Structure 1
């Protein structure tokens, strides 16, 4: 296999400034072997070819001499007499293989866990040969995982490289595309000025701290929210879910997200922040600007986990949340805390059912089941404020959202951009939201233009309720106040001890609790309306109307002009904090740590070398044996 090593390709692989040569490019048979007389433009090209061949052949060497004009190596496994000398020619201005003494007599077939010659620069080169250049791969798909790179290196070179080396190679490719991490911090203020100029109404709050060097400041925190998102939130459900996810690039940090949901059950991101971590000060910074600039409406419900920092930030009077809004907990995190305290999976299920119970009788049904099993568990759940974690006692403020899964889902969506330099990360949120508004705007406009009155998600729920209402028996008790008794003729499910429900249409109340929780007519309400020859449509909240969803995305996302037209930034240079630089030791984290609230089956153990089940790495038949 022959590979054309053009100077453009070399610059991509080793991230070196372009150089101009007077001679033409020549094909170099790197994968075919190393032969005397081969020439290369630079020493790095020459070393990369030597390394590549030795790694491919499962052989190693030690360096005898290495300077600006010579590179001499010998095999490090005696009695093998292999030696190679490469040198720079002043006449041709090329590096070449001058001499090769003997051939390798050492043999090492099979797979090795790593190779010491696989440094990160070499790895970028190999990844390019395997994937036709890792840089275009990352341009087309930022979600290329480290495991994907490891698998391709294993398939091509018969070596399983370490996670750290693959992670470093990916970062080198990211730096080539988006620039260095340090320079990205310096470019950040100029990009923020460009957004303020062309995406008018965008809320940006940047916090910095002084350094010992005059004219430089440390980056501390950044909050931003786009105007179309702020205006669109006014037509969404009055709930906000917040969560944080760590960054995976060269500098540590946390990306905080605030998301909502439109009337068609679509996730709607409303605000972002990059902070040092999920600390008390960081959450105060985020929630304060979120309340002041994005969600100033009354009766907003904030859904989060039971993080003490979030609770403290919410209750801080200066942030404005505790006056006319509510803070409730994610039921999955309640279940996690329950397992840590009680350690009983069956009782945890009962506790989760208590949270999801739409009515008080159903809530008491599951509470009695816990009381029979464990007084300790009962005392634990009774210690929690009911409006904070139960649907039966929240008054419908959480609109049926019992978890913070919307924010968790957005964390997974943004997982591929969390490893980008900071300016590229902020830019990615802008371009993705602009694309989202175009796509969702077309969809909602088509539904609205077709004359459809309600969203698809709403119609699906209503259709189920209408079908179920056909089996109900209705008796009217109060003609003036429209009070009904609705009896279900089907057998009730477990957790549904009642089969007779009181419906009060004027009060918008049903004993089942679903009417109040979802702000949609349940089957009992629909049956009562049918009995009284009334339309149930007035009891559907406006947020579920097609016109309302159309209003969410009916706002243009202005385009940011070319970088050459960006305004000049004359302020202090923004630099990253040195203590936020990620340590070089250990495996970089790239996914959320699983806890008690994660349900997953025990996975089959696999070999750490070849990933085949049934044996361990020290018993692997593919492991490399001693050289002969």
Structure 2
């Protein structure tokens, strides 16, 4: 049966999926359609399944409009039971006295703020849609510790990725979460982010840096040049750790297309290349950390607003407890450096055995290191100048990752110096243990919550999601997605090479 049934309404579907949705909030609409088809032998529409899921969410987490009214009380609870939490709440007046419209909300938990001081000095920012009955955007700032673990340090719910919204987010992020010097912010080339970063009142100018995500640069490159093969060359230019490798890929673009070379040359090299960034990116060429955290929070982005804010608290509390226990166990074992660090060091140690070192200036620890094996990185075998006092190597990996490369390790072994002195402290187990040292306090019973007696918070009518069209939950694919590897299959028999209109297994006209 391929048709719907009028008595198979959203209430009946809601009662059937309610137990499943309690256990798995990420239950997809397509799964609901399949579940109802298997149980009732009817295929419901996407809209009906989506409405039924929203009804089930409403029964579990409360009404969307009531959730806006409950939000101020939860913010008071966070300030009382989770001291040190930063909350910035903006509203606007309504024609009705005693009511205000919700505009924007920024929040950051104290354990995350203190943890950032022990992480790599980089922060990645990104925005993602909300999927509930009311539109909006969730902005995230994500950090990474020395063991390659990521966690969000700040959140914001705004009307969209507008100039005012990014000003609001970046201003409070800088003031309350990332006030340290020499912070590198990684994002896409969104004009609103660039404008907010360059706004002097937001405090980012001076001792911080703003660089671009290489995936978004490649996306813009394809839109302008429309050549996917040259896109790979541009990406290799961005990832090139040394100036020599950068020039090698630049010369290959020059031989193919001069217009493409003009496009990449118009971008400031320090904004998108690893060879010229001075090591401020710590090897992070994309905003994948923020993209990964967006997918982690995908299931809660369809919740009412108060439930969404509460979910960030409970998930981070669980995450910090788990990682704190793990880092304490590693520290007790006597291990000095993180697993992510040890993997890179072991790889560099293996390559250092094939290097020949010539000493030039022992007082200043200056060496010439020659590779005897083919590096297979788009560059020929060469001599590399290593200056240990200045922490520099011609290969560029030493400056980019803040870890000794194979040439540095070979020079250290030649001079009888421990290469561990050149490993940054952020990769130490003690530093990672300090990241998760402070736990999240427990929020007490709801009967002990303080009572809110202020204005009633209401959602804006223009933010209510329209009922026209199919509700979208998947990100729109753009040029940054690699379509070349996708294999298109028939919608009926799932065999590649044709579509459902040309399928030989399709049924003919009815007799």
Q: Which string of whole-angstrom CA distances, capped at 9 and with x for unpartnered residues, describes residues 362-402 of structure 1?
A: 10000000000000000000000000000000000000000
2:14 is aligned to 124
Q: Residue 576 of structure 1: CA displacement?
A: 0.5
Q: Residue 607 of structure 1: CA displacement?
A: 3.5
1:181 is aligned to 64
Q: 1:468 aligns with which of 351, 355, 363?
A: 351
Within a 5 Å distance, the mapping from 1:189-338 to structure 2 comes to 189-338=72-221
2:361 is aligned to 478
| 2:492 pairs with 1:602 | no
1:6 is aligned to none
CA contact (8 A) 2:151 2:293 kept: no
Q: Residue 254 of structure 1: CA displacement?
A: 0.5
Unaligned runs of 5+ in 2: none
CA contact (8 A) 1:235 1:551 kept: yes
Q: 2:45 aligns with which of 152, 155, 162?
A: 162
1:115 is aligned to 5
Q: Residue 119 of structure 1: CA displacement?
A: 2.8
Within a 5 Å distance, the mapping from 1:339-378 to structure 2 comes to 339-378=222-261
Instruction: Classify 1:490/1:235 alpha carbon distance in 2 versus 1 (closer, same or farther; 3 Å).
Output: same
| Larger helix proportion of the pair | 2
Instruction: Classify 1:277/1:341 alpha carbon distance in 2 versus 1 (closer, same or farther; 3 Å).
Output: same
Question: For 1:443, what is the secondary structure of its paired residue?
Answer: helix
CA contact (8 A) 2:374 2:380 kept: no
1:32 is aligned to none
Q: Residue 117 of structure 1: CA displacement?
A: 3.8
CA contact (8 A) 1:492 1:499 kept: no
1:536 is aligned to 419
Q: Residue 495 of structure 1: CA displacement?
A: 1.9
- Which segments of structure 1 move beyond 4 Å, counting only runs of 4 or more? 610-615, 617-626
Give me the whole-angstrom Cα distance separating, in 2, the residues matched to 1:150 and 1:195: 38
Give me the whole-angstrom Cα distance separating, in 2, the residues matched to 1:302 and 1:140: 37
1:499 is aligned to 382
Q: Residue 615 of structure 1: CA displacement?
A: 6.4
Q: Residue 123 of structure 1: CA displacement?
A: 2.6
1:430 is aligned to 313
Q: Which moved more, 1:116-125 or 1:136-145?
A: 116-125
Instruction: Classify 1:625/1:165 alpha carbon distance in 2 versus 1 (closer, same or farther; 3 Å).
Output: farther
| 2:272 pairs with 1:401 | no
Question: For 1:209, what is the secondary structure of its paired residue?
Answer: strand
TM-score, with normalisation over the residues of structure 1?
A: 0.79
Greater Cα radius of gyration, structure 1 or 2:
1
Give me the whole-angstrom Cα distance separating, in 2, the residues matched to 1:347 and 1:235: 39
Q: Which string of whole-angstrom CA distances, capped at 9 and with x for unpartnered residues, describes residues 39-58 of structure 1?
A: xxxxxxxxxxxxxxxxxxxx
Give me the whole-angstrom Cα distance separating, in 2, the residues matched to 1:476 and 1:450: 38
| 2:332 pairs with 1:442 | no
Question: For 1:418, what is the secondary structure of its paired residue?
Answer: helix
1:570 is aligned to 453
Q: Which string of whole-angstrom CA distances, capped at 9 and with x for unpartnered residues, describes residues 220-271 of structure 1?
A: 0000000000000000000000001100010000000000100000012100
Q: Residue 155 of structure 1: CA displacement?
A: 1.5
Give me the whole-angstrom Cα distance separating, in 2, the residues matched to 1:298 and 1:589: 40
Q: Which string of whole-angstrom CA distances, capped at 9 and with x for unpartnered residues, describes residues 497-524 of structure 1?
A: 3521000000000000000000000000
Instruction: Classify 1:122/1:621 alpha carbon distance in 2 versus 1 (closer, same or farther; 3 Å).
Output: farther
Q: Residue 122 of structure 1: CA displacement?
A: 3.3
Give me the whole-angstrom Cα distance separating, in 2, the residues matched to 1:587 and 1:618: 27
Give me the whole-angstrom Cα distance separating, in 1, the residues matched to 2:506 and 2:376: 55
Give me the whole-angstrom Cα distance separating, in 2, the residues matched to 1:607 and 1:166: 21
Give me the whole-angstrom Cα distance separating, in 1, the residues matched to 2:395 and 2:478: 33
CA contact (8 A) 1:365 1:497 kept: no
Give me the whole-angstrom Cα distance separating, in 2, the residues matched to 1:112 and 1:624: 17
Q: Residue 491 of structure 1: CA displacement?
A: 1.7
CA contact (8 A) 2:125 2:140 kept: yes
Give me the whole-angstrom Cα distance separating, in 2, the residues matched to 1:202 and 1:257: 16
Say how many residue pairs are matched: 508
Q: 2:429 aligns with which of 543, 546, 554?
A: 546
Give me the whole-angstrom Cα distance separating, in 1, the residues matched to 2:72 and 2:14: 31
Within a 5 Å distance, the mapping from 1:10-159 to structure 2 comes to 111-125=1-15, 128=16, 134-159=17-42
Give me the whole-angstrom Cα distance separating, in 1, the residues matched to 2:135 and 2:510: 40
